[in-house]
Structure 1
Amino acid sequence: WLPDYLVTVRHLNIVQAGFYASLVFFTFGISEPIGGSIADTLIHRGWDEASTRKGIVSVAFALGVFLIAAMHVADNRMAIGLLMGASLVGLSTGNLLAILQSCAPAEQVGIWTGAENFAGNLAGMIAPLAVGFLITWRGSYLPGFELAAIVLLLGVPAYCFVLTDLEPRLSARRPRANCP
């Protein structure tokens, strides 16, 4: 629904909307390996693995606040910039998978990863329906952006305070597979 928002609310033509929406999605995609690389570099330099990965996830999730800010600026370029900033949530992706591998028993990493991906795909199916309903019900795109921001912001305390017991199962304490 992002291209539709850009056409309907921001009054871009369909080509412009497609281009700017693709920039937002590209930002998400390119930030995924960058977030993992940042964490790996810091951990290699001696930073604590659990704190580093949780910190990057928390900061990335907190960038969801840019979604709300993007709705309240008049300038289209600023709105696109804020949407791209919110898309830096992709910095969390590699770290989420690494955290999962730290939490899961070694013999269950595959099922845990599959379950996490299933939950993500399920959310990916439900979110457009829920947002479409909110847009129709409220007559505005704002509730959709607010919902996305709220979900991301709720993840911050979850990763900071709820997910606490990573130390005993960190991957560094597991034997490494014999991979080329």
Structure 2
Amino acid sequence: MNINNNYKTNLTEEKPTRVRYLVLALIFINIVINYMDRSNISVAASHMSKDLKLSTVQMGLIFSAFGWVYAALQIPSGYLVDRFKPRVVYACSLFIWSLATLLQSIVGGFGSLLGLRLSIGCFEAPVMPASNKVASSWFPTNERASAIAIYSSAQFVGLAFVSPLLFILEDKLGWKFLFILTGLVGIAWSIVWYALYRDPSKSKRINNAELNYIKEGGGIVEDEDVDNSTAKEKSQFKFSDLKMMFSNRKLIGIYIGQFTISSTFWFFLTWFPTYLVEYRHLSFIKSGFVSSVPYLAAFCGVLVSGFVSDKLIKKGVSMGVARKTPIIIGLLLTTTIIGANFVDSTPLIVMFMAIAFFGNGLATITWIFVSLLAPKNLVGLAGGVFNCTGALSSIVIPIVIGIIVSGGNFTPAIALIGILALIGALSYIFIVGKIEENN
């Protein structure tokens, strides 16, 4: 009799669905497309600048246009994510920036191209705050670092694996086709995202077992029966909220850390190929191969970081130690970039750069602190401020390094990246301090 009862209990026990992993796959593809559309201009630049008769100064302005708008709109984007929800914001952003990408295929000169690059920067601005909001809603605390690590690794997938494909397409079919293809991919995917994504409480695919697992694990899940007008009223913009974003010591600590982490990323994205060709005198083909090695190392670092952090949580290690350890170790590893100043061997240079960018990858789970430290109704706004500080490095670092290396010496520039990484580690140790999750 007992055996039969147990058998019936097992039959009726609901097994949790795994819809959150589908959601993670959707975010991952969003980020790949996002970075593909950021970097395709650099692939097309050589032939496009000749066809449109653009000077190097004009191309420099076109390259930088994205960063200025992207950084400026991070805080408004975070507010939009809180108020209008990731499904709508993400779909609209994807569609419009992809349309702007496609329209780059018919530009007639500097003005129209500059305007479209500004548009792409504008509508890509909500991507990271929206992604963090989705991860915070769909993943319990003990899985969130892994989720953030996986979708963050998509940026390196885009740079290390997609970029070579774009070079081949541009070489075979021309720069106009490159923009048409990448634009159409994004437009099509925006429709897929809108059709498939729902918040946890509104998803028809998720069952109660998975929903309860997410809620009980600390996922920020809004109740389905919450009145929509009440939710919007709670997310009304208040200057006191913005003031809190800039006065909370722990938040300031992660802002500093994010600027230093992003500084390393933007060095590799902008100046690293020039460093290899002009300062280390590698051939163009060889520099292309060498520059892919740090991206692969960073990709590995991101994945290791998330899984190690979540593993520590499951083993009972405190939240602060589990989340901060990979970041601090990663930033300290990034300081080894300075070692490249003391060697001339290409393999050793690649080794130091790969270790540094692996460390940068380890440190990229910083987004988890936005959901841990910010009030739950302000995760989007906090994410906007957080990403704004990181995006500022896309403006500052290329310019500062350009000034430093104008005399032909990269040594101080490499040292600067290492010093900034050390500052980031110290910020997490002394300014962020002990971590306790907000309610």
Q: In which range does the TM-score fall when normalised by the shorter chain?
A: 0.7 to 0.9
Residue 139 (1) aligns with residue 404 (2): no
Q: Does 1:159 align with 2:413?
A: no
- 322, 327, 330: which is aligned to 1:52? 322
AA at the equivalent of 2:311: T
Aligned to 1:63: 333
TM-score (norm 1): 0.87
Secondary structure of 1:159's match? helix
Query: In the alignment, does 2:363 pair up with 1:92?
Result: yes
Shift in Å at residue 11 of structure 1?
1.9
Alignment of 1:65-84 (within 5 A): 65-84=335-354
Tell me the CA shift for residue 100 of structure 1: 2.0
Query: Structure 2 counterpart of 1:156, which letter?
Result: A
**2:425 alignment partner, SS class:** helix
- Tell me whether 51-60 or 80-89 shows the greater mean CA deviation: 51-60
Q: Deviations over 1:103-141 (max 9, x none)?
A: 1111111111122112211212221111111111x4311
Question: What CA distance in whole angstroms lies between the structure 2 residues aligned with 1:33 and 1:49?
Answer: 19
Residues of 1 paired with 2:364 and 2:318: CA distance? 18
- Cα–Cα, structure 1 residues 107 and 165, in superposed 2: closer, same or farther, change >3 Å? farther
Structure 2 counterpart of 1:125: 395
Cα-to-partner distance string for 1:64-110 (whole Å, 9 max, x where unaligned): 2211101211211011011000002111112x111221111111111
What residue identity is the alignment partner of 1:130? V
RMSD: 1.5
Contact 1:55-1:160 at 8 Å conserved across structures: no
Q: Distance in 2 between matches of 1:129 and 1:28?
A: 24
Partner residue in 2 for 1:149: 418
Pick which of 49-58 and 77-86 moved more.
49-58
The answer to whether the 8 Å contact 1:6/1:12 transfers is yes
- Tell me which stretches of 4 or more aligned residues in structure 1 moved more than 4 Å: none
Aligned to 2:374: 104
Number of aligned residues = 168
Match of 1:36 among 293, 306, 311: 306
What residue in structure 1 maps to residue 296 of structure 2? 26
Q: Please say if residues 319 and 435 of structure 2, whose CA atoms lie closer than 8 Å, have aligned partners that are also in contact.
A: no
The superposition leaves residues 34-67 of structure 1 with CA deviations (integer Å, 9 ceiling, x where unpaired) of: 2111101111111112112112111101112211
One-letter amino acid of the counterpart of residue 31, structure 1: G
User: For 2:371 and 2:303, how far apart are their aligned partners in 1?
Assistant: 17
Identity of aligned residues (%): 27
Q: Secondary structure at the match of 2:364?
A: helix
Look up the match of 1:177: none
Structure 2 length as normaliser, TM-score?
0.37
Question: Larger Rg: 1 or 2?
Answer: 2
Whether the 8 Å contact between 2:370 and 2:383 is mirrored in structure 1 is: yes
Alpha-carbon distance, 1:29 to partner: 3.0
Query: Could you list the runs of 5+ residues in structure 1 that have no partner in the other structure?
Result: 175-180
Instruction: Decide whether the 8 Å contact of 1:56 with 1:92 is kept in 2.
Output: yes
Amino acid at match of 2:364: T
What is residue 9 of structure 1 aligned with on the other side?
Answer: 279
Contact 1:60 1:92 in 2 (8 A): yes
* 1:90 partner amino acid: G
